[in-house]
Structure 1
Amino acid sequence: MAQIDKIAADTPPYAHVPTATYDDLPRRFADFETLGEALDYAAAGKRGLNFHDARGSLSRPYPFAELRTDAIDTALRLMAIGVKPLDRIAMVAETGPEFAALFFGVVYAGAWPVPLPLPTSFGGRDAYIEQIRVQLGSCDPSMLIYPPELADMAGEAARLANVAGMDWADLGNRPAPAAPLPQAKPDDIGYLQYSSGSTRFPHGVAVTHRALLNNLAAHSHGMDLIASDRCVSWLPWYHDMGLVGCFLSPVANQLSVDYLKTEDFARRPLAWLDLITRNMGTTVSYSPTFGYDICARRMSSQTKASGRFDLSRWRIAGNGADMIRPDVMQGFVDAFEGAGFTANAFLPSYGLAEATLAVSIMPPGEGIRVELVEETQLSGVASGQDRPQRFRAIVNCGKPVRDMMVEVREEDGTPLPERAIGKIWCKGPSIMDGYFRDPDSTAACLVDGWLDTGDMGYLSDGYVYIVGRAKDMIIVNGKNHWPQDIEWAVEQLPGFKAGDIAAFAITTPGGEETPAVLVQCRSSDEKERIRLREAIREKVRSVTGMNCVIELIPPRTLPRTSSGKLSRAKARNLYLSGDIKPYAIAA
């Protein structure tokens, strides 16, 4: 292994030799004052970032030392064109060395990087331009920097927002005259993070260097990182789990990481597992539930995973960013156990951008654990009133990370005992500084240093269990109904899968609140659509006891956030505005 590391260290830039997994540089678990100091330290070693093409072949190794050199040059270019400390620099977060150098270049220049999303398949050009325009209006940057291939859309968004636009190839051609770099302090803002669903009312989460590094240290301790660990990621860098967990954490904790672009994963999901297989040192990789689900679905019953993959060294299969589905996790185990994957590799976690990233992490090796919760505990209705007992499996999301406190509270703020469902609140050094230039929204969720996460859940034996988002809850006749329970019920019918269904509350013409269920339907036969609608109606009624508005819609209609999660709020808005058009079906 030492010989391999020597080759990696002695090979010139751009040679197709991955950065080292092992390193003689003593590992420090993010115990730095600032993010720039973290990269300064990592650059003294042999690890780094590695970018792969759509087929999973290494296209660009990028040692931390090279990243640091490029970032300092970028900082000097930015300073030469007038960028000052505290300026916001918006940047389209494409996974690649250009964005990595730009992000750290802005940090070294004392300004605030603001990662913004790439276009998604839903909504098209105009929707993307509007999203970027609105986010630019929120963060008020001095400029927007983007990949050359997005000059048309990103440049138009910049023009509409009256912000200077520049592609990063242009920036790279600017002179970089020597100048002293500003010295950041731990309590300075390190970056602004927008949630993946930010559209009409975006909230820029302001995170200090101190908060970031505290969370990265807690994250690495929670995962028990060891010298032989190496990471693979396809997560987007404009989402907190991708940006913080799979880009900034490897720098601050000196971990080599191999990347697929998110769009390449979307086209060929199994390329993720191919990359884990080829990089035999891979031990760490994260994904939301849907990533595991799509991989399991892509495996045909005739194909043996053991003939293509070797997942035996994957010791931390992280799961977060959306509701964790035990049935999906079991499906992944069933599909890939023959390739050496073990169920206890799963590492559920819970977090959000307002806490920098991690709030709780399952201790490694404990895997997926569930508790069965009676439906009436979730709905607020006394047992036996109007329905038989039903249970939902709630996944254990681990223990609070180091320095983090978690409480469950009533709506009025009263703390609740163990196993009582309420609002999740958390407090610790990694809680955000606040929402940028939005004191009202900050005051609404930050009280005496405690963050109202907006999520519902409970504590059991020191572990955190998440039930759902409070804002997604459907309340009809005083009863609480969780949209995912309705969605999961429909998924049990033949022909439907995760992501095909969105449930939310609407107001009927008569002024009553009722659930609406949008279901993507692939059948073009009207008789079959009528049959499916009635089957869905009966299934939902059997689970909730309610009559719902059932609408069948074309495939690929439901909107998703930039991180791939279903956006119920956007689906509701598009449905009510008429932008989502259901199939016309005879009554």
Structure 2
Amino acid sequence: MPTPTADELPRRFADFQTIGEALDYAACGVRGLNFHDPRGVLTRPYPFRELREDAIAAAYRLIAHGVKPADRVALIAETVPEFAALFFGIVYAGAWPVPLPLPTSFGGRDSYIDQLGVQLKSSDPVLLLFPAELMSMAGAAAEAAGIEGLDWEGFATLPTPEASLPAAAPGDIAYLQYSSGSTRFPHGVAVTHQALLNNLAAHSHGMEVCETDRCVSWLPWYHDMGLVGCLLSPVANQVSTDYLKTEDFARRPLAWLDLISRNQGTTLSYSPTFGYDICARRISSQTNIAERFDLSRWRVAGNGADMIRPDVMQSFVDAFADAGFNASSFLPSYGLAEATLAVSIMPPGEGIVVELVEERLLAGGAESERDRPQRYRAIVNCGRPARDMEIAIRDEDGQELADRQIGKVHVRGPSVMVGYFRDEEATKACLDADSWLDTGDMGYMSDGYIYIVGRAKDMIIINGRNLWPQDIEWAVEQIPGFKAGDIAAFSITTPGGEETPAVLVQCRTSDTEERGRLRDAIRERVRAITGMNCVVELVPPRTLPRTSSGKLSRAKARNLYLSGEIQPYDIAA
């Protein structure tokens, strides 16, 4: 039987000193985590009490193995009980867990090993723990990094002598969070216990969590929304949660909705826009929606992690209205790992709210452009600041802007990171002396609500995956004939409304056949590191724009390309 939704244990909303203390309390009740197979059949109920027992045993093993407080222990973030127990075991041992991604997001074995190697070098762990089936890849990455690698089964056989567990303080680091796009230029976000618990309390407050709430999730645990929002939050707020593995969702997306329907108490579930999109697309006209699904109790259908597309949300409503889904259940939000997770949350029941904004304003257009035909884009309201969070919109000179003026989004609050791990320069670049974090995102405030209009630090976000343009550009630079500054990577929206990576490459050869060969080589190289197809355009030398300091301006390159001012070479397909 799955762990129950209700519990006689009085609910506490993340009002703990540390995440270990939160698990100690949750273990006094009967709620817990529940793991399901690809068809949504329960395979392992995992009460918080059992999770705590396994985590303490893991902590004893780690301490006996020589792991000390503040050591980093990396672990592959598979959605299974072993990962949850190891994560909390590392916390109980006073060390810092470092969740790392699964290979499904990368273009092959070598790319995945390379990805792990870069993050291992950045986090400098004493140990890498991984599922046995990843031995060939994770083991190779550990060996290349010069650290010990152990599969979970091997780790479980280590001696478990009881030991004194170190007492964590609220200001201690709880874990390191890497973005799923942190490949060549990783930034490990250092999150303290007090920052984490503050953000988790803001979750429960913003979503108005109540006694009858239950959660379903397929989000990966190496991403902040999956780890913080759908593993650590259920522990700190004592919410029974049901899980599908991310790869199982990818193969059978409707299993997510089947699980919500089958578990009648389910009221909370989050997804990036693409999750709703793929479910709406998978429904055929022959499917009897009302008989198969019951989504009437789903009161918080959260949306975050990528740009929210109102047309997709409407398609989902149209597809599942007969199953009882209510459009007002949509709950847009905005967040980032540097703020632990949540920055803003839409009040429950308000649904998707959009404003139409002139595209020239979104692109930083000048007054002289007013004579051009006006085009508008629908911008989604991402809610009010999460509890204890401040949001300010500033211009390039740091001056705060008035309502409905577009500028850079800055945030400040107790859950903002203390910094990037061992990267003081990157920390100073985004975190000022008054603890304001420059998110790099563009947006505006309107009557106390935040609207996000642009990407963070040029980040490309496709189907909930973060891709740093520098990684794509670096990959292309490895092809003979190209160098740094020749390539600009960014995202574009296709005529069908979907986002895709685009790469502009300055090409010096005049031979048409050679250009075609280079374009194909670039496509294959980008696919190898991202697992995605992309648009590749070869452009003349000295085409890509620069900032006043001589740096590549991706934002301007994107605007010039979309406006037609950058004309690529015409190459036959």
Normalised TM-score (structure 1): 0.82
Equivalent residue number for residue 540 of structure 1: none
Aligned residue identity for 1:487: T
- The correspondence of residues 465-480 of structure 1 with structure 2, limited to 5 A, is 465-469=451-455, 471-472=457-458
Query: Are 2:177 and 1:154 equivalent residues in the alignment?
Result: no
- What residue in structure 1 maps to residue 390 of structure 2? 405
* Corresponding position of 2:172: 188
Match of 1:339 among 323, 328, 334: 323
Distance 1:209 1:235, change over 3 A: same
Q: How far off its partner does 1:84 sit?
A: 0.5
- Please tell me whether the aligned partners of residues 175 and 192 of structure 2 are also in contact (alpha carbons under 8 angstroms): yes
Structure 1 residue 304: Cα displacement: 2.9
Q: What SS does structure 2 have at the residue aligned with 1:170?
A: helix
> 1:66 and 1:557, CA in 2 relative to 1: closer, same or farther beyond 3 A?
same
Give the structure 2 partner of residue 529 of structure 1.
Answer: none
Counterpart Cα distance in 2 of 1:168 and 1:242: 21
- 2:334–2:343 CA contact under 8 A, matched in 1: yes
Q: Is the 8 A contact 1:196 1:561 kept in 2?
A: no
The one-letter amino acid of 1:464's match is: I
Residue 491 (structure 1) aligned with residue 496 (structure 2): yes
Secondary structure at 1:178 match in 2: coil
Question: What is the root-mean-square deviation of aligned Cα atoms in Å?
Answer: 2.9
Which residue matches 2:261?
A: 277
Aligned counterparts, 1:127-166, within 5 A: 127-166=111-150
Between the aligned partners of 1:179 and 1:77, the Cα distance in structure 2 is: 9
**1:397-441 CA deviation, whole Å, 9 max, x = no partner?**
000000000000112211111111010000000000100000000
> Partner letter of residue 134 of structure 1?
V
Distance apart, 1:375 and its partner CA: 1.3
Aligned residues: 509
Cα deviation, 1:171-213, whole Å, max 9, x if unaligned, reads: 1111111111100000000000001101001000000000000
Distance in 1, Cα, partners of 2:533 & 2:238: 34
In structure 2, what is the Cα distance between the partners aligned to 1:555 and 1:573? 14
Q: What are the within-5 Å matches in structure 2 for residues 457-536 of structure 1?
A: 457-469=443-455, 471-472=457-458, 486-488=492-494, 490-491=495-496, 498-499=498-499, 501-503=500-502, 506-507=505-506, 509=508
Q: Is the 8 A contact 1:48 1:62 kept in 2?
A: yes
Percent of matched pairs sharing the same residue: 70
Q: Distance in 2 between matches of 1:350 and 1:574?
A: 35
Distance 1:449 1:186 in 2: 18
Cα deviation per residue 1:11-59 (whole Å; 9 max; x = unaligned)? xxxxxx1001000111110000001000000000000000000111000
> Counterpart of 1:457 in structure 2: which amino acid?
G
Select the residue among 437, 453, 467 that pairs with 1:451.
437
1:302 CA drift (Å) = 2.5
Other structure's SS at 2:319 match:
helix
Q: Is the 8 A contact 2:96 2:175 kept in 1?
A: yes
Residue aligning to 2:560 = none
Report SS of the residue matched to 2:416. Answer: coil
Shift of 1:586: 2.8
Residue 52 to residue 143, structure 1, CA distance change in 2 (3 Å): same
User: What's the CA shift for 1:560?
Assistant: 8.8
Segment drifting more, 19-28 vs 302-311? 302-311
Q: Which runs of 5+ in 1 are unaligned?
A: 1-16, 475-480, 493-497, 511-549, 577-581
- 1:13 alignment partner in structure 2: none
* TM-score normalised by length of structure 2: 0.84
1:258-269 residue pairs with structure 2 within 5 A?
Answer: 258-269=242-253
Say if 2:347 and 2:383, in contact at 8 Å, map to a contact too. Answer: yes
1:585 Cα deviation from its structure 2 partner: 5.8
Q: Structure 2 matches for 1:206-217, cutoff 5 A?
A: 206-217=190-201
Residue 532 of structure 1 is matched in structure 2 by none
* Among 290, 313, 318, the residue aligned to 1:306: 290
The aligned amino acid for 1:407 is: A
CA contact (8 A) 2:523 2:533 kept: no
Deviation at 1:123, TM superposition (A): 1.0
Shift of 1:77: 0.5
SS of the equivalent of 2:104 reads: coil
Tell me if 1:324 matches 2:330: no
Mapped contact 2:190–2:420 kept (Cα < 8 A): yes
Given the alignment, which residue of 319, 344, 351 partners 1:360? 344
List aligned pairs for 1:23-34, cutoff 5 A: 23-34=7-18
Offset of residue 303 of structure 1: 1.9
Report the equivalent of 1:422: 407
| 1:369-408 correspondence to structure 2 within 5 Å | 369-381=353-365, 382=367, 384-385=369-370, 387-408=372-393
User: Structure 1 residue 316: deviation in Å?
Assistant: 0.2
Measured after TM superposition, the shift of residue 384 of structure 1 is: 4.6
CA distance in 1, matches of 2:278, 2:14: 33
CA-to-aligned-CA distance 1:80-121 (integer Å, 9 cap, x gap) = 010110100000000010000000000000000000000015
Give the equivalent residue in structure 2 for 1:94. Answer: 78
403 and 207 in structure 1: CA distance in 2 versus 1, 3 angstrom threshold: same
Q: What is aligned with 1:441? A: 426
Instruction: Specify whether residues 215 and 470 from structure 1 end up closer, same or farther in structure 2 by C-alpha distance, changes over 3 A only.
Output: closer
1:51 to 15, 24, 35: 35
Q: 1:417 to 1:275 in 2, by over 3 A?
A: same
Are 1:235 and 1:262, in contact at CA under 8 Å, matched by a contact in 2?
Answer: yes
Task: Quote the residue 2:515 is aligned against.
Answer: none
Change in CA separation of 1:554 and 1:273 when aligned onto 2, cut-off 3 Å:
farther
For 1:337 and 1:328, locate their aligned partners in 2 and report how far apart those are by CA, in whole Å: 14
Could you tell me how far apart the structure 2 residues matched to 1:336 and 1:482 are?
37
- Show structure 2 runs of 5+ residues with no match: 461-487, 510-518, 541-567
CA distance in 2, matches of 1:574, 1:219: 45
CA distance in 1, matches of 2:404, 2:520: 36
The Cα shift of 1:387 comes to 2.9
Q: Match for 1:503: what amino acid?
A: A
The SS at the match of 1:393 is strand
One-letter code aligned to 2:316: F
Q: Distance in 2 between matches of 1:313 and 1:33?
A: 33
